[in-house]
Structure 1
Amino acid sequence: MKLRSLLRAIACLPLGLGLATALPTRAENYPDRTIRMIVPYTPGGSIDTVGRLVAEQLQRLLGQPIVIENTPGASGLLGSLAVKKAKPDGYTLLFNASSQTYLPLVVKKPTYDAQRDFTPVGQIGYVPLIVAVHKDVPARTMKDFVALARQNPDKYTWATSGLGTTSHLSEEMVNRALGLKMEIVAYKGAVPQLTDVAGGHVSAAISPMPGVMPFVQGGHLRPLAVTSKARVASMPDVPTLAESGMPGFELLSWYGIWAPAGLPPAIANKLNAAIGQAVQTPALKSRFDELSFVPTRSTPEEFRRLIEGDIAKIGKAVRDANIQIDF
């Protein structure tokens, strides 16, 4: 058929049908090349560990390689900004934790809007944080540690994986709720954070379980409490912060995948479906169990509502505690 005749035939089709038939939607072809997934922290931490596990399953389901790109710096800000500026075509994704939502709440001059500048693709799951101290700190319980920190206000310090992270917010809230004056030392990720606590350079940290557990199992850190509402099955003898002087306290680190704002809904839905399959694979569920990580399934809309709700809840806590940082 000549080109003119082909164009005439397409024009005669019902509105929208001609182009949809002649030119397949991008979602039908997606993905047809390597996907870049940015993790805005150093390799080896909780977010990086879970991100690599998920990426391994996603590339199998999507049929294309997924390359993890660690972009640490400024409490995850550098990696988030790299994704914000990327083309919204599904080939640049962000794997991050709830700190992606919290960071703009605590910085004096926000550099991105957590709702407007990104497309929520899907939540991966959530995990409690552990309050852990160096093995030589003479405290076996949270009550013991609080007493020591009050008696020696300049001796004990917190390490955080980055300002504005769930780790940082937890430590700020503990300081204020329990009347502590412990300095908070910021690091570029959970690995340097926990390594310095294990080395005795900093006294304590509150950090997600996947990153803390190797140090606990190795005898370098001692767990005092968890930030979940209930005790963790793998550590039944470790009480919650709510049981340890902070009634009603709960703060979990949840993980998810974002894309730049403007990602076509068809591509977001295709990615979301693959995420839902990935987190349910037996191999991944087995590893998640080892990490005390609870996988979840959510639509992009459900993930958006989670983010919206957390901004309201954590935003109030941040304002009440007057937490503010300046890069």
Structure 2
Amino acid sequence: MKAFCAVRTRRIAAGIFLGLCAASASAQSGYPSRPIRLVVPWPPGQATDLSARLVAHKLSESLGQPLVVDNRPGAGGVIGSDAVAKSAPDGYTLLAGSSGPISINPIVQKVPYDPEQAFAPVSLIATVPYVLVANPAFPAAGIREFIASARANPDKYTFASSGTGATGHLVAEFFNSMAGIRATHVPYKGSVPAITDLLNGNVTYAFETLAATAGHVKSGRLKAYGISSARRNDALPEVAPVHESAELPGFEVVAWIGYLAPAGTPLQTRARLAAEVRKAVQAGDLRERYAALGMDPVSSSPEDLGALLKREHERYAAIVKKANIRID
């Protein structure tokens, strides 16, 4: 009798488990059944906001439910990111994540979340290359001459960034380290004043986004020495990658933008979203808009994005440690 009861108990438990699995699968198969909130931790019009909205529009069409953009700017993207970290992991809250608040800020300052523990990766949606630019008065004709001049004059030259710990700052520090350059960092409150001083010849060089520099390069107001991505970009096809023209193998760095979800969001849900992103970034109209914004349309699986985030954290941690960068 005891054996019978034990078997019966196991069968009941198995039945309950299978029922729960079936209910979960049924719920996921109907996903999404209501609007999805997409938190953008930046103000409208910023690069992350623009790319996130373009992809969200495509996903709203393919999923049959709207992705509602919720701009939560502040503290360099930390406020909005933290709001998502504290949200329910049900697939109905997403974060438009990017290099700054996810890969860099947690290394250079205290933030209320651990990005590896707080978020579950969904998919990349864009990458943003940086361009090494200088005032046209700088005498170097090419990047090798640029490096030679900087090496021969340690601490003579200055480089601008949109702020201490900004992605452009770390890209420049990475370049300086690999090229053997010693130069003085001049931080600004944003890219606009940094580029303005560069145009006026008050600083020597900078790594700024393709979108922010392409127009000035084409007009002759800035001189481009190289692009930080692995390949040339159609916006400035004559500008070669730094790793190629300067013979700096391994110097391939871009800012990333992607969708993340709160930790614990089911992989099945994230994989569904990633599949829709993959289709979205292949659309001709989206690719045209991206090109105008100086971005490259990309996608990834949740697993591949997770691996990228790990590599980015390790690389930026090494750069920050070597350059002794800290924001109090």
Q: Give TM-score, length-normalised by structure 2.
A: 0.77
Counterpart of 1:276, as a letter, is: R
1:232 aligns to what SS in structure 2? Answer: coil
Return the letter of the residue paired with 1:310.
E
In the alignment, what sits opposite 2:272? 270
Is 1:301 matched with 2:317?
Answer: no
After TM superposition, give the deviation of residue 137 of structure 1 in Å: 5.5
**Matched position secondary structure for 1:112:** coil
Matches within 5 A, 1:38-187: 38=40, 40-104=41-105, 106-107=107-108, 109=110, 111-134=112-135, 140-142=141-143, 147=149, 153=155, 156-160=158-162, 162-176=163-177, 177-187=179-189
Higher helix share: 2
Which residue number in structure 2 is paired with residue 37 of structure 1? 39
SS at match of 1:115: helix
Evaluate the alpha carbon distance shift between residue 81 and residue 202 of structure 1 in structure 2; reply closer, same or farther with a 3 A threshold. Answer: farther
SS in 2 for 1:86: coil
Distance 1:268 1:193, change over 3 A: farther
Change (3 A) 1:195 1:77: farther
Please state how far the C-alpha of 1:268 moved relative to its aligned partner: 1.7
CA distance in 2, matches of 1:110, 1:54: 28
Deviations along 1:30-51, whole A, 9 cap, x unmatched? 241252331x334444333322
- 1:57 partner amino acid: K
C-alpha distance 155-13 of structure 1, shift in aligned 2 (>3 A): closer
Identity %: 31
Aligned partners of 1:297 and 1:129: how far apart in 2?
Answer: 19
Measure the CA separation in 1 of the matches of 2:123 and 2:167: 19
Cα deviations across residues 55-107 of structure 1 (Å, max 9, x unaligned)?
A: 22122222333343444444332332232223333333221323344315631
Check conservation: 1:125, 1:294, Cα contact below 8 A.
yes
Is the 1:159–1:204 contact (alpha carbons within 8 Å) kept by the matching residues of 2?
no
Structure 2 match to 1:209 = 210
Q: Deviations over 1:103-142 (max 9, x none)?
A: 1563154543221111111122434211123456566544
- Cα distance in 2 between the residues matched to 1:250 and 1:152: 24
Cα RMSD (Å): 3.6
Shift of 1:271: 1.7
Which residue matches 1:227?
A: 228
Q: Which residue of 2 aligns with 1:285?
A: 287
Change (3 A) 1:71 1:202: farther
SS at match of 2:125: strand
Structure 1 unaligned blocks of 5 or more: 1-10
Structure 2 counterpart of 1:4? none
Q: Following TM superposition, by how much is the alpha carbon of 1:279 offset from its aligned partner in structure 2, in angstroms?
A: 1.1
Residues 17 and 159 of structure 1: CA distance in aligned 2, closer, same or farther (over 3 Å)? same
Counterpart CA distance in 2 for 1:230 and 1:158 is 24
For residues 44 and 202 of structure 2, what CA distance do their matches in structure 1 show? 21
Deviates more, 1:213-222 or 1:167-176: 213-222
- Residue 260 of structure 2 corresponds to 258
1:211-253, CA deviations, whole angstroms, 9 ceiling, x for partnerless residues?
4334444554432211123443543432332355462122122
How much has 1:169 moved relative to structure 2?
0.9
Q: Secondary structure at the match of 1:25?
A: helix
CA contact (8 A) 2:157 2:183 kept: no
Q: Distance in 2 between matches of 1:315 and 1:267?
A: 31
Does 301-310 or 213-222 show the bigger shift? 213-222
Residue 288 of structure 1 and its aligned partner are, at CA, apart by 3.5
Aligned to 1:310: 312
**Structure 1 residues 34 and 15: alpha-carbon distance in aligned structure 2, compared to 1, 3 A threshold:** closer
User: CA-to-partner distance for each residue in 1:175-227, whole Å, 9 max, x for gaps?
Assistant: 44442322231435x55654664576755431232343344445544322111
Letter in 1 for 2:281: V
Distance 2:247 2:311 in 1: 22
How many pairs align? 313
